[in-house]
Structure formats: C-alpha cells, structure tokens
Amino acid sequence: MLDISLLRKELGRIACLLKTRGFCLDIPKFEYLDNSRKNIQQETEMLQAKRNYLAKQVGQLKAQGLGTEDLMSESQSIPKALKNLEDKLSSLSNDINDFLYSIPNIPHPSVPIGLDSEDNIEIRRWFPEGMSIKNEPKPFDFVPRDHVTLGESLGLDLDLASRMSGSRFLFMKGKIALLHRALSQFMLDLHTKSHGYEECYTPYVVNAATLYGTGQLPKFKEDMFAVVQGVLKQDSGLDSDKLNEEQQYLISTSEITLVSAVSGSILSEDNLPIKLTAHTPCFRSEAGSGGRDVRGLIRQHQFDKVELVQIVHPDFSYDALEMVLIHAEKVLQLLNIPYRVVLLCSGDMGFCAAKTYDLEVWLPSQNNWREISSVSNCEAFQARRMKSRFRDKNGKINYLHTINGSGLAIGRALVAVLENYQQPDGSIVVPKVLRPYMDNMEILYPSSR
C-alpha cells in the first residue's frame, strides 16, 4: 500500500508514475475522499472544542449560583453528534483503505518505462561451457522432444490427473517423481547451507486478512482458490462482501506466509536482515492465462516452489534484491541450464513490486526462453499493509522492506532439466548436483526400455 501522505503531497507525480504501469489513478475520487475526511475531522474538533467550552461555562455558572439549563441542553446534544461523526469517519476510513488497496506500487527510477513484455530489457545470458554459439543456445544434433513426451516415458500422467481433478493438474510416479523431489531438496539445501536462509514449514491455507496484507487481495481474487466449509472451491462464486478474516484460501505462493511472519511486528534493527525459505505447493486458478500452455507443466493450477524472502532495512533493500537474484541464478548455474536475466518494464511488473527481475530458462522444444523465477523488491508496500516495522538505533520506528523471489519454481525447473538433458533415445542425463538425491543414478531411461 502506498503512503497516503505521499499521495497528498505529490498526487500528480504519483499518478504519472502509475500511468506507466497501465493504472489510471482516480484523482477526483481521492480528493473527494480525502477532503471528506478533513471536513469530518474539522467538524469533530469544533464540536469537541465546543463541548469543552460549554463544560467550562457550566462550571463557572454553577460556582456563581446561576442557572445552567440552556447550556446543559445545548451540551447534551454534542455526544450524539460526535458519535455520528465517528461512524461517518469509520465508514469513510474503510472507503479510503479500499481505494488505497487497489493501487499498485510505484516503479523504482531504474525500471524501464513500457507497456508489456516487449519492453523488458535483457540484462545478461549465462551458458554452460560449450553450450552456446555467438551468445545463442547451441542446437541439438537431433530433433528435441518436448517435456511432456519425455516425462510420460518417466512416469508423468496428465490424463490420470485430469480424471481426478480436471485440466492443469499433474500426477507423477516413479523416476520423474523422484527427480521432482530431488530438485526441491537440492534447492533447499543450497539456500540454507550456502546462502544463509532459514528453512520454514508454513500453512498452505491462510485467511483473507493475510492476503490483504501481502497484496493478493483484492487484486487477485479471481486467481485464488477459496476453502469453503472444508471444500476446495474456486473463489469466482463468492460475493465480495463475504470476504472477511474468517474466509480461508489456498496459498498461491509461500511468499504470502513467509512475509506474513513479521505481520504486526516491531522488530529491532539488530534482528535484520531476516532470510527465510520454504518449499510448498502453490495453487492458482490462472484465470488470466488466455489459454496459454494448456499442455504440460508450464502453467498448472497446483505446482511446487521453493521461495526466497528477505525482510530488510530500507537502506539495504536494493542490495538484497541483487543478492536474491544471485541466489536464484546459482540454482540454474549448478544445474548447468542456459538462462537469461530480464529487467521487467513498468507495465509488466507484479502489483506489489517496485522493481523485478525475471530469470528465463532455455527450452529447446519451444526454441524459446521461458520464465522460471521472478525476483522483486516490494519496498515498504507490503509492510505498510501488514503494519510490519522496525525500531532503528535512534529509537525511530520505520517500515521494513520486503524482497521475494522464486528459488526456483520446481515444476518449471523439472521441464528445463528434461528438455536440456535429453538424449536422442529419450533418456535423461541426471545433472551431477542432483545425483546424491537420486541414489547416484546418472541416467533416467524411458520405462519402455
């Protein structure tokens, strides 16, 4: 959530910045809401002053033995008027909060201005030794299979999952399930043992208040799955007025639960930075996908992810952003998978982000780069919504900054391993860093072999 004082002081500038994100700030509405608040507060202060004045006058008249009936009658109407103003202010405060909740974060000055992914800027590419020609991925000397064809021979069963749950779910068994688990264990070990993150186990179900705090609600209501009386149900059928702290949802990312670990807290500066990681399933309806990637593991309703979160002092949040990016990159470097780093433009960033990098892996079957991780600095946007603060060495209380990143999306990492490590016969060479997690297997052969 943006600082309302920033809107009051620099409304025009903020509106221009938000426009670069494709968001039109309703300036007249904000001015109406804010002026209404001012008027109610001024009226309240006037009534309070009048109440105090009348009380003082009544006291003086009583001391002189004079009548106070008229003043008493006038003063008795004030509490009811103040209560009415208090109710109006409470209702108006809710309207102001709803307005603020709808506004995305403003982009950092280093973010390129643009409308969509066409305006993103490639920062760098990384290739394993001998796997590039003129900074392009070296092609296979055979026609590469896609990850679905490769996976099905190793235990991937999309048809079975579809019969159980519908489209965009998967069922894995045998070798591919083992490879999927190895990826998650490898990532967690790397981030906890080498990068200094504390491993967490978090709830997969959270209440609406938690999602408002981290920015998923109300913006992404249609992409969430709600848990209604113990039944998994897509939230599109729920009325917005039923949203309350008792409503529960399946998490779309463990960023939600990791960042919420400091919700409502005032931390000591000495406790910063906080570095957390978790492996969880994630649930998204993907309503806005426009039919893309229906086949395969790229875009699923349920998928797994190892998430990285840092909660830091504002002075160091952009250093932390670069650090989280390096940590996510290290996963792909150790897996020896070609990737590139892309800086997202203003119109392509997520709702809470002030700056975002994407990591994109090379998929031979698509002859294209596909996103596998987003690393974002949300600055104080989430912390302000969650009331997450810290006390500095001078005793001043400030909002924390939050950084999050996928480290990595496990299903998409699985896709990248299958496609980049495939051999002409459909077998898969197991990346060396994964072999200790797979009983030292070096090659996964198709089940028909």
Name the phi and psi angles at 232, rounded to 5: -75, 125
Report the C-alpha gap between 375 and 403 in whole angstroms. 7
- Does 265 show up as a binding residue in the annotation? no
Instruction: Calculate the alpha carbon distances from 63 to 47, 59, 108, 345, 364 in Å.
Output: 24, 6, 65, 73, 94
Residue 371, annotated ligand binder? Answer: yes
Q: Pairing state of beta strands 231-234 and 225-228?
A: antiparallel
Within a 10 A sphere around the Cβ of 140, how many other Cβ atoms?
A: 15
Residue with tokens 């579809």: 162
Q: Is-contact 311 272, C-beta < 8 A?
A: yes
Phi and psi at residue 363, in whole multiples of 5°?
-115, 110
CA gap 445, 292 in Å, rounded? 30
285 annotated as belonging to a binding site for a ligand: yes
Instruction: Give yes or no for a contact between 145 and 366, defined as CB atoms under 8 angstroms apart.
Output: no
Q: Name the 3-class secondary structure at 279.
A: strand
- 385 in a labelled binding site: no
Q: Is position 284 annotated in a ligand binding site?
A: yes
Helical residues (DSSP H) of 300-362, grouped into ranges: 317-335
**Residue 36 assigned ligand-binding role:** no
Tell me: is residue 192 an annotated ligand-binding position.
no
Q: DSSP assignment, residue 287? A: G
45 is in an annotated binding site: no
Residue 337 labeled ligand binder: no
Q: How far is the C-alpha of 216 from the C-alpha of 61, rounded, in Å? A: 60
Q: What b/e string do you get for 305-314 counting C-beta neighbours within 10 Å, with b at 16 or more?
A: bbbbbbbbbb
Q: Tokens for 320?
A: 């932390």
Cβ distance 197 to 258 under 8 Å? no
Radius of gyration over every alpha carbon of the chain, rounded to an integer in angstroms: 27
Q: Judge whether 289 is annotated as a binding position.
A: no
440 is in an annotated binding site: no
DSSP character at residue 105: P
Residues flagged as binding site for ATP:
284-286, 371-374
Residues flagged as binding site:
253-255, 284-286, 307, 371-374, 404, 406
Residues flagged as binding site for L-serine:
253-255, 284, 307, 404, 406
